[in-house]
Amino acid sequence: MPIGPRFQQSPRDVVSLAGWELDDEFPYGPQGAKPKRILICPNPPPHNFLIGGHRYLFKEPAGSKAQQIWSEVIAYELSRDLRLPVPPAFLAQGPGNGSPGVLIEFFYGYQFDPEARFVHAIERLQGLGMSTDYRRGSLKDNITLCRVHGVKDWRIWWARTLAFDAVIGNTDRHSENWGFLIGAAAGRLTYSLAPAFDNGTSLGYIVRENELKSYSEPQRMRTLIERGKHHFGWIGGDKQGAQHARLCRTFRDYANLYGAMDDAMKLTDPRISDIVNWCCRFDFPVPFTAARATFVAAQLRARRDALATALGA
């Protein structure tokens, strides 16, 4: 069962990880603010949106970063509309103390393709002598890397990913947050682009609850949108060109793709309302409040409209 739409998580089906086993080979993911645990889903799975026997990453952002849990879940919900593969993400509570977090499906290691492996873009950039710092580089470097590895449909993937990041305000698509799935065909390695993972640094997650109302002021919302940018610009050191909507326009014109970003611009107000209202129905230790719902919905509409303006739609 490859990456694709799963059944939507019901507000009554927050995943309890009690009894889930740590992965024997890789029990912990890369170290961040807190360890990320890698667990194996029981078989049969406890919910119809999970895959029995498959690996999942459990992330537990806390404190000022706790809203990243919701950012991951909402990003996955939006990906259904924007036609971009994104690892399914679900609300969960950890084994033992029931700590709140987000459970993210591994996007490789499926039974239908157990030999596929993943490599971060930074590893290939370093291997080719193109970059040594994962927070630097440029979109043109990323394009070159895709071409060198014979990746098919890289234009569509980057168009949809850049538009997706512009809509959610993701500021963290550096070269450790994208990469390649490597397989084999006819005796040679094949490279394809992995799903767009690690989407938590988005949707204004850092804005505190007591500050949310102030973003109802149009100028403050415009400032938030305008400041949204990637680590990379079109060329190295191009900080101004890293702004989300402007980079989308630059790439669209370069790749001569005038329809690939349409899904992001056609995201409807009712669909945005459906998603944030769904979030509000969960009884979860990190609440998604009505004020947060109003802020996130307004932000999504503003980011969508800023993208449409930049693209002349």
Q: Which of 9, 69, 112, 15 is nearest to 288 (CA)?
A: 69
Residue 202 in domain: no
CB-count burial class (<10 Å; 0-12, 13-18, 19+) for 93: buried
Q: Which of 275, 249, 272 is nearest to 260 (CA)?
A: 249
Q: Which residues touch 264 (CB under 8 Å, ≥6 apart)?
A: 82, 160, 163, 164, 166, 167, 304, 307
pLDDT digits (tens), the chain, 313 positions: 466 679 999 999 999 999 999 998 777 765 444 568 999 999 999 999 999 999 999 999 999 999 999 999 999 999 999 999 999 999 999 998 899 999 999 999 998 887 889 999 999 999 998 877 777 789 999 999 999 999 999 999 999 999 999 999 999 999 999 999 999 887 889 999 999 999 999 999 999 999 999 999 999 999 999 999 998 999 988 888 899 999 999 999 999 999 999 999 999 999 999 999 999 999 999 999 999 999 999 999 999 999 999 999 8
| Cβ–Cβ < 8 Å for 143, 234 | no
Q: Which domain holds residue 79?
A: 15-105
Q: Which of 83, 99, 79 is nearest to 91 (CA)?
A: 99
| Amino acid making up residue 171 | T
String of DSSP letters for 13-67: -PEE-TTPEEPSS--B---SSS--EEEE--SS-SSTTS-TT-EEEEE---GGGTT
Q: Which of 270, 271, 264 is nearest to 311 (CA)?
A: 264
Edge to edge, the sheet with strand 89-93 lists 15-16, 89-93, 100-105, 55-59, 37-40, 21-22
Residue 23 in domain: yes
Beta bridge partners of residue 188, listed in sequence order: 185
Residue 101 in domain: yes
Rounded Cα gap, residues 226 and 111, in angstroms? 43
Residue 31 in domain: yes
Q: What is the pLDDT of residue 106?
A: 96
Residue with structure tokens 């700590």? Answer: 99
| Cβ–Cβ < 8 Å for 293, 282 | no
User: What CATH number is attached to the domain comprising 44?
Assistant: 3.30.200.120
Q: What is the pLDDT of residue 33?
A: 45
Residue 42 in domain: yes
How many domains are there within the chain?
A: 1
Residue 62 in domain: yes
Residue 50 in domain: yes
Q: Which residues touch 249 (CB under 8 Å, ≥6 apart)?
A: 310, 311
241 three-class SS: helix
Rounded Cα gap, residues 211 and 292, in angstroms? 10
Q: Are strands 100-105 and 89-93 parallel, antiparallel or unpaired?
A: antiparallel
Residue 80 in domain: yes
Rounded Cα gap, residues 27 and 173, in angstroms? 25
Q: Which residues touch 80 (CB under 8 Å, ≥6 apart)?
A: 5
